[in-house]
Structure 1
């Protein structure tokens, strides 16, 4: 059996990437051209976005370099291209792709991940590769997580493999060898528990992830249990509601965010809250502890790895990313026809650029309507979950409506996450100094006509109010509503619908029953039908889309049948207009 065959066999056994298809063609095979995303989006900004630390801590980097995948190769031998991650020639750590970096935690250099790992994509059109910053990644995150799990399991169950690993990381003496083994076991216990209980079969595939479930699982399952292990296995559920990564240009000015629209958004304070939860989901260190055993006062930032300066800078960088401009020829007459159709059938009540709820430091948000258009409903199953509250039992945030009720022994996972995020932010000045949020305060001052002294006082008094009811708890009988976003740059973010169940915009203009029941997800792009090309010779996964009888499967192509009754020439005009946005 060849190395390739052994690798594919191991992937099938794992189940985590059972739909993965690999050939020698990688998403970085062609020379890259960067899409036009505005004058503020410079190469310096791009480099910063690709490697800015936000506080994620995955695994000691020396370990990562020494680990072997099932086929005997190292994770950095191909710069992680086998998972769809994109090369970064400007990385301070050679070999790491876009979105990955190294950071120091407790004196140990660790592998870290940042926003661009999930929010930069590359598409291939007629042999040319186009890089689109802020676009949904076409990577297979679950395959990476599962391979890492398998690699560490191998060295812990195979003494020869561990000896080779120990030698590679420099643990030569018997004492160092034993200490390394203990340290790896301690790291592996929570990681493997999460992977074994959360990763679904078949896997999420290319371009999708159940990020909300993984945030819930990580916080409730690995972080809030009682020391020393902190694990609450029963709080970890199968992450089987994968969605397409969202595009993040214009995200800072949406007045709500997350596909089901459960998180307030629209200014830097709320953006920070949104991103603190995200960091905890991608292995940021979160080990809350009671200050006194019988007192409901919690140290939320005990041993925390959150990088508040990095998170604030990343939000500022997001604001510089414009939607990508269509780089190919357009028909002006068709655009005019399509615009009229769009304004009549698409914009009103859904995708128009209209004013949203004003925020403390941003009076000009965009409204993000929530609509039930009969699309897949499975993501709502995870929103009503309850979990054991562990060390957070009884915790609350005084004077913050929505978080001021003490957590019960078993409570809504939304309440657990809300208390964790808000508590972490409000406690930050105690751990990191009063100037920890100075970049946000300075940015707010620049946008407001009041004096700096007035604004500083206002921000200090309003930060709790800004965070109140940060997460909207789902109703008892949800209507399965999802975001209807402004469509700028929509041409570059296929596949479509929140769960990525429709390969092209042309297919989205067909009734659900006529949309493809199966298609490949990969980097090859069809600029006529606006979306994924049928032929995907490189890294790809097969999406099997269910019909409307399985609306809650996570993979339904049902819903959003707007424009399906347009005449062929009207659909063509509408597509031309959508390309121009």
Structure 2
């Protein structure tokens, strides 16, 4: 089986090289100047927006500013049909079924695509690409009795794996089916259509189909996992980022780890203000470089095309061994981070949801101070823009599913071309034959920052211009200085994690999960980092008594239990497998805080959390 996988991946690598050559030649027939605004296909929902410190223009900018992600040519996505019908892939009903958020066409969204599906222009070829931006994964809609409420920065309910699987299938069928391809080609090529151009386009479609399929293969789960393991409202983004570096950037698609630890998409408000990010608190948020490095890593995980190759001979003479390239757009990331910095948590909208019982909430506030505040600090709305230090709770104490933290510590990969070089380029020990997979991603991100230091510094300063800069930002002058501070902070955070990686699988010492302030928590179901608990009421039940099977994908809000309806949806979340064993990554155990309260106390606590 392993030899077959290596053979398959080798074939796909050849295809990827061919695809890269084709891209440089600029033969995608999808230049921005040729893309006309078209109406969105299907019905676009009317949504209510809440006050979250953003203007309408900021919303639109956040939704559609490219961060350099590229999946397929933009015009292809405009006219691609679904694999099993003549309906277009971008049809609003289809995208809503995948739980993305269709919106109307506009100058920045010419094809009427969902929120976060952005147009990116290749500065070398002029080609227009479709990519994802932050908003695709961090914007959500909840419904209540016919009212649709849009929450900026909230975790999406989308099923990315299903979206990508259908995209791969649609491209494959389009390339193989004569009638389907003919319809596609005439729409894409328009007045440039000819037998010759159509043949060239078809060859491009076949090659791109292989290129997108190889990503699907690299991030495939072991056969022992159920097909809907990742499903709606969660994704192993951390695992995808690791593979983007170890497999794609280093050009060996067998150099991978299966992404077996899907987690809920985190909410964005408060992200810029926290001292650390990631569920396992592994990335420092130091000024200037911290947010930039975090965001570059995110783009690398969502089609940022990171590549690490041997440097040209004249650079090797000067001591530079490797060269780094990517489609990441750092200035776009700077603006996106600035908008996130301004974002505030949504307040419970009493004009659309049942009103809050003030007396019960007051009782709950006292309980919260006793049961919750030591980990989940209370931050007043007027202070949401202030920096805070997140609590890092030891995994052996909180007792929740260990898969995410464990994978981050234990996933290893071959270093290949990086062997013998400093792991952080400017500092650190030299890579041996193998290294933690995430260190390869960090190396790639550092390489991109150092490749364009002026642009990186400019991008890092954009969020700082929205407020008073820190003393650190005033004292340091170069991007290298900021990198040194960030890398030192990262090393300090990962000392315990590295120690944990040497322990046996029964040992979880040194691993932590991050506990955030709970502002706006009412709008962020499902709960626990892996989305294994559907609502706040279930979270307050004894772990062994929580429901172990429920529907996911429903937008219909339950304002009493605070979460989404669990009796309807698009897929079932199951804690246990058919044999009754907890599926690794799906455990709903742990987090026993507040579970010994009386029912009356629990309802009061929930009522208070609605006010946060």
User: If the TM-score is normalised by the length of the shorter chain, which range does it land in?
Assistant: 0.7 to 0.9
1:366 aligns with 2:389: yes
* Aligned partner of residue 288 in structure 1, secondary structure: strand
- 1:43 to 1:517, Cα distance in 2 relative to 1, 3 A: same
Query: 1:16 is matched with which residue?
Result: none
Where does 1:385-404 land on structure 2 (aligned, <5 Å)? 385-396=411-422, 400-401=426-427, 404=428
For structure 1, the 5+ residue unaligned runs are 1-25, 226-231, 355-361
Shift of 1:459: 6.6
Counterpart among 66, 74, 78 of residue 92 in structure 2: 78
1:463 is aligned to 2:477: no
1:107 deviates by 1.3
Cα offset, 1:49, TM superposition? 1.0
**Please, what TM-score do these two structures have when normalized by structure 2?**
0.80
1:42 aligns with 2:55: yes
CA distance in 1, matches of 2:401, 2:167: 31
Instruction: Name the SS for the 1:235 alignment partner.
Output: coil
Structure 1 position 545 matched with structure 2 position 575: yes
Aligned to 1:312: 334
Native 8 Å contact 2:44 2:102 kept in 1: no
Match of 1:501 among 527, 532, 545: 532
Q: Which residue of 2 aligns with 1:144?
A: 163
Higher mean C-alpha deviation, range 163-172 or range 518-527: 163-172
Asked if structure 2 preserves the Cα contact closer than 8 Å seen for 1:546 and 1:557, the reply is no
Q: Shift of residue 272 of structure 1?
A: 0.8
1:77-476 pair list within 5 angstroms? 77-78=91-92, 80-89=95-104, 90=106, 91-105=108-122, 106-170=125-189, 172-200=193-221, 201-203=226-228, 204-225=230-251, 232-292=252-312, 297-298=320-321, 300-302=323-325, 304-328=326-350, 329-348=355-374, 350-353=375-378, 364-372=387-395, 373-383=398-408, 384-396=410-422, 400-401=426-427, 404-429=428-453, 432=455, 435=458, 437-439=460-462, 442=465, 446-448=468-470, 455=475, 457=477, 461-468=481-488, 470=490, 472=494, 473-474=497-498, 475-476=500-501
CA deviation after TM superposition for structure 1 residue 438, in Å: 4.7
Shift of 1:565: 1.1
Change over 3 Å in CA distance of 1:540–1:182 after alignment to 2:
same
Query: Structure 1 residues 179, 381: CA separation in 2 closer, same or farther (over 3 Å shift)?
Result: farther
* Counterparts of 2:141 and 2:583, CA distance in 1: 30
Q: Find the counterpart in structure 2 of residue 51 from structure 1.
A: 64
Q: Which secondary structure does the structure 1 equivalent of 2:148 belong to?
A: strand
Q: Classify the secondary structure of the residue corresponding to 1:411.
A: strand
- Alpha-carbon distance between aligned partners in 2 of 1:81 and 1:134, rounded to the nearest angstrom: 18
Per-residue deviation at 1:166?
3.0
2:292/2:459 contact within 8 Å kept: no
CA separation in 1, counterparts of 2:457 and 2:535?
Answer: 49
Partner Cα distance (2:439, 2:451) in 1:
18
Deviation at 1:398, TM superposition (A): 6.7
Cα 1:510/1:29, change in 2 over 3 Å = farther
- Does 2:489 align with 1:484? no
Deviation at 1:143, TM superposition (A): 1.1
| Contact kept? 2:172, 2:206, Cα under 8 Å | no
Distance 1:301 1:494 in 2: 38
**Residue 573, structure 1, aligned to residue 598, structure 2:** no
Assess if the C-alpha contact under 8 Å between 1:378 and 1:552 holds in 2. no
**Cα distance in 1 for residues equivalent to 2:563 and 2:270:** 21
Note the C-alpha offset of 1:178: 3.9
**What is the CA–CA distance in structure 2 between the aligned matches of 1:281 and 1:507, rounded to whole Å?**
32
Match of 2:559 among 519, 527, 534: 527
1:368-391 CA-partner distances (Å, limit 9, x unpaired): 323321111222342211112233
Change (3 A) 1:172 1:533: same
Question: Number of residue pairs matched?
Answer: 532
Q: Distance in 2 between matches of 1:511 and 1:398?
A: 44
| Shift in Å, 1:506 | 0.5
What is the TM-score of this pair, normalised by structure 1?
0.84
Provide the rounded CA distance (Å) in 1 between the counterparts of 2:121 and 2:43.
29
Query: What is the CA-CA distance between 1:34 and the residue it aligns to?
Result: 1.5
Distance 1:417 1:108 in 2: 27
Residue aligned with 2:289, SS: helix
Shift of 1:549: 8.2
